Structures are given as C-alpha cells and as structure tokens.
Amino acid sequence: MPARRRTARDDRRRSLSQNFLHPDWAERVVESADVHSGQLVLEVGAGSGVMTLALARRQVRVIALELDPVWARKLAGVVRGSGFSQVRVVRADALTFPLPSRPFRVVGNPPFGATTASLRRLLEDPRVPMQRADLIVEWEVARKRSSVPPDTLLGTIWAPWWEFELGEKIPSTAFRPVPRAAACHLVIRRRTPPLLPLSVAAAYGAFVRTWWMRRRDPGE
C-alpha cells in the first residue's frame, strides 16, 4: 500500500507544533480555570476553537490568538456564526502580540515546541498585569516548573512573583494528532503579596543569572 501523501495541513501541524485538544478536555480545563463573566482572557494557541467556545459560553471577553491563517479564518467564522460578540479572533504570534495593559487572565494550549518561549513572554516582566495563567503543557515541563523550591534558572527568577501548581494530568490520547508524551494543566498564579517588590525585578533577574552561571562554572 502506498504511503499517504503529506498534505498542507500536515505541514502546518508539523511546522507549528500543533496538537488539538478534544472538546471534552477543553471544557474540563476551562471549568477548572474558574473564569468569571466580564474578565479579560487572552487565549494562546486557539487552534480549532474548542477552548475559545468554552470560554465564550462563560461570558468572558476573549482575545483568541492563532498563528495558523487557516485555523484563524475558520475560527473567526465559527465565532461570528455563534454570535459571541465578546470574542475577538486575531491571527497573531502569541510571542510578539502586545499584552493587555489592564488586568487579564491567560488560558490556552500553546504549541508544545514553544512552551518555554510562551512562559518567558508571560512571566519575564512581573509588571505585566496578568493575574493567572491556565496552560496545557507537556507533563514533564509542568512537573519541572512546579517544583518547590525551584531548581531551574527561570524558575528561580520567576519565583518571587509567580507560584506554580500541577493541575490535572491529560493523556496523550486527548489530542489530535496524538503527541509522544502526556500533558498537564499547569496553573500559574500571581503571588499576593509578592516576595519582592516589582521595582527590583530587573536587578534580581540579573543577579540570579550571574549567580547561576558562576555556580555552573565555579572556576571563574
């Protein structure tokens, strides 16, 4: 039997690291995220829109970001047809899209290949008014990020302002195409109060990076 020819959709899935979540699991994650009517939610990796629609049904204001032009166009049509006027679909890269200047939440299924970049975008500057993020990431990534005390450079830099919690483990079979590893609902909450004032964030980050490099190379 001849091998199946790879389609343009296959190429997009591969290049954009796309793994689409089953609607039932999307509903579970959004339910656990505990969003409330009127809140502003930035959705990263909107894809086919299963989480977008679950959020919209809860009457939150949604900015749904999707880099794939085909899925962004399809999702915009679904949103218009469903009458969810509080949802805005934007074809954009979540790594460069301007973050809101008012308090907001983040919910989403970012590409597994861009998890660290996505976290850095959201957490590097604690002055950004994000209150909480509910993200679907690979299980091992979630386990590493939620370790207490943090045992990575980035985790140490983020710890004064953010706390991490392991949510429900999500089997690989909950996605299409099926990824190699299980995933997890990772919850990130802003510390209130923070362990350090916002004004020292840049200096603290520089100090930790210097200390970390010297620890790795004590001969310097």
| pLDDT per residue as tens digits for the range 163-183 | 999 999 999 999 999 999 999
Show the domain range for 35. Answer: 8-216
Token pair listed for 214: 């010297």
Q: Does any domain span residue 139?
A: yes
- What's the CATH number where 159 sits? 3.40.50.150
Q: Does any domain span residue 103?
A: yes
Q: Does any domain span residue 73?
A: yes
pTM: 0.90
| pLDDT per residue as tens digits for the range 67-94 | 999 999 999 999 999 999 999 999 999 9
Alpha helices in the chain (DSSP H): 8-15, 23-33, 50-56, 69-82, 115-123, 139-145, 153-158, 201-216
Q: Does any domain span residue 188?
A: yes
Contact 30, 51 (CB under 8 A): yes
Domains: count for the chain: 1
Q: Does any domain span residue 3?
A: no
Using the CB atoms, write b or e for 137-159: b if 16+ within 10 Å. Answer: bbbebbebbbeeebeebbbbbbb
Strands 175-176 and 20-21, by their bridges, are: antiparallel
Q: Does any domain span residue 1?
A: no
